[in-house]
Amino acid sequence: MDFLEISRYGFMIAFFLYCASFIFYVVAVTGKTWKNRDPQRHERKWGRISFATSSLGLLSHLIYCAFRWAYSGHIPVSNMYEFMTFLSMMVMIAFTVIFLIYRKILLGMFALPIAIIIMAYAAVFPQDVQPLIPSLRSIWLYIHVTLAATSEAFFAVGFVAALLYLLRTIEFDSNEKSARRQKRWIEFTLFSIIIVVGFIVSVFAFRAGGYEAVFTQNKTVIDSQVQQDSTIEQQGVYHMPPIVAPYQSKAESVPSFLGMDRAWFEAPSWMSGASSARKLNTVIWALITGIVLYLLLRLILRRPLSKVLAPAVKGIDPNDADEISYRAIAIGFPIFTLGALVFAMIWAQQAWGRFWGWDPKEVWALITWLYYSAYLHLRLSRGFHGRKASWIAVIGFLVVMFTLVGVNLIIAGLHSYAGTD
């Protein structure tokens, strides 16, 4: 068994331990109200079990990281798979740190799913160990990416605690306009998380089924050297049944899926990039799967998801949740400044000779920084606490995720990792 294989096992074991630990946290939180139980003893016992399980998972995750590092000779953060896996590991570390300070098992119930989703998302990307291109061969890769992921993990914990706060303070009985709006938006937040799950589920489902459809697209390119129009044939391979075909394309082979044997419509002309139609197709599938999942959940539970979760979070004091959220962001912010901006600038200066180049990834890191600095100003000087601050923290995590994932998938730049879908 070589190092790579050990690291693969580490990844798998960590994933399953996290899932188990999530279930244990749920038992620890909801089981208190079960019959014939002393709530405090139950919570202590199951809290310990779940924390032990999640810590074991983290250990296994660290083993994955260490062995992959040993195998490849560089820190495993050089492509999207490695980075997302690393990020989920950092989320677990941030969670562990915050848990050790505050000892709130409820945090586990919400932080674990985030780590699990990020880890599953990582598995969507190709898992090959790739050699490092010259520009990545620098000590700054280690420092910059590690610190950036650490700070983002703390922002994730801040998001989790903020969500907890919102769920805790939601007023289900009130029919006031603000309360109704509150309910709607929390439900929407949960729905968005389910869409992400839907994306992962659909990718893996079609991958397991080995689905593949091929399109060819004729592209007219004006060749500058011969001053002549020349046509280049581009092939687009879909791993999901095509709902959207590439702009002006011909179906080469489209296996039938549930009676669907051709694309329903074509991508608009401005989506002319080779993979943009495929990405749009993936997004549509993610939405469909997510909506189906959500409706199924609603059907089974017969209540809005927020209403299902609300009783479970009764055990936390809203002020504590608010404070944890703030604390996590306050820990993360200096690390973010150092890792994602200052060290990134030092590296950029060394590799490209300019510390700042308005590359989309750089700009989005700046946007994240500006966003959280606005949060801190509002909190410190304008007295934003509780609900308002929590909403800002929830949206902040969206900004972080866009910086990490969205920029790579939608806007390409110097940081474009090799990716899929």
Q: Which is nearer to another protein, 56 or 378 (CB)?
A: 378
Q: How far is the CB of 117 from another protein (least distance, A)?
A: 25
Find the binder of another protein among 12, 274, 296, 370 (CB under 8 A): 370
User: Please, which residues bridge with residue 223 across strands?
Assistant: 228
317 binds another protein (CB under 8 A): yes
Q: How far is the CB of 404 from another protein (least distance, A)?
A: 14
State the Cα–Cα distance between residues 188 and 306, nearest whole angstrom. Answer: 9
**Amino acid letter at 350?**
Q
Segment lying near another protein (by CB under 8 A), choices 16-24, 47-55, 59-67, 361-369? 361-369
Segment lying near another protein (by CB under 8 A), choices 33-41, 184-192, 304-312, 326-334? 326-334
**Amino acid letter at 209?**
G
224 binds another protein (CB under 8 A): no
172 binds another protein (CB under 8 A): no
Of 353, 351, 363, which is closest to residue 133 (Cα–Cα)? 351
4 binds another protein (CB under 8 A): yes
Find the binder of another protein among 47, 242, 360, 396 (CB under 8 A): 360
146 binds another protein (CB under 8 A): no
Residue keyed to tokens 């898992």: 127
Residue keyed to tokens 């079609």: 206
Q: Which is nearer to another protein, 186 or 401 (CB)?
A: 401
Kindly state the tokens that stand for 412.
Answer: 């390409």
- Residues 333, 314, 187: CA angle, nearest 5 degrees: 70
Find the binder of another protein among 37, 137, 181, 262 (CB under 8 A): 137
Estimate to the nearest angstrom the gap between the alpha carbon of 330 and the chain centroid. 21
Phi/psi at 255 (nearest 5 deg)? Answer: -65, 145
345 binds another protein (CB under 8 A): yes
Of 359, 405, 353, which is closest to residue 149 (Cα–Cα)? 405
314 binds another protein (CB under 8 A): no
Segment lying near another protein (by CB under 8 A), choices 24-32, 282-290, 303-311, 372-380? 372-380
Residue keyed to tokens 């938006």: 185
DSSP-derived letter for residue 260 is B
Burial, 236: exposed, middle or buried (Cβ in 10 Å; 0-12, 13-18, 19+)? buried
Q: Which is nearer to another protein, 284 or 345 (CB)?
A: 345
Of 107, 314, 125, 147, which is closest to residue 203 (Cα–Cα)? 125
Q: Which is nearer to another protein, 362 or 421 (CB)?
A: 362
192 binds another protein (CB under 8 A): no
> In the range 374-393, which residues lie near another protein by CB under 8 A?
374, 377-378, 380-383
Q: Which is nearer to another protein, 18 or 333 (CB)?
A: 333
Q: How far is the CB of 76 from another protein (least distance, A)?
A: 12
171 binds another protein (CB under 8 A): no
Indicate the angle between helix axes 105-122 and 177-209, nearest 10 degrees. Answer: 40
CB-based contacts of 274: which residues, under 8 Å, 6+ apart? 217, 234, 236, 246
Q: How far apart, in Å, are the Cα atoms of 77 and each of 73, 84, 113, 122, 130?
A: 12, 8, 22, 11, 11
Q: How far is the CB of 91 from another protein (least distance, A)?
A: 20
188 binds another protein (CB under 8 A): no
Q: Which is nearer to another protein, 292 or 411 (CB)?
A: 411
State the Cα–Cα distance between residues 388 and 397, nearest whole angstrom. Answer: 15
69 binds another protein (CB under 8 A): no
Q: How far is the CB of 389 from another protein (least distance, A)?
A: 13
339 contacts 153 by C-beta, under 8 angstroms: no
265 binds another protein (CB under 8 A): no
State the Cα–Cα distance between residues 131 and 368, nearest whole angstrom. Answer: 30
Q: Which residues bind another protein (CB under 8 A)?
A: 4, 71-72, 101-102, 127-135, 137-138, 140, 269-270, 317, 319-320, 323, 326-327, 330-331, 333-334, 337-338, 341-342, 345-347, 349-355, 357-358, 360, 363-364, 366-367, 370-371, 373-374, 377-378, 380-383, 407, 411
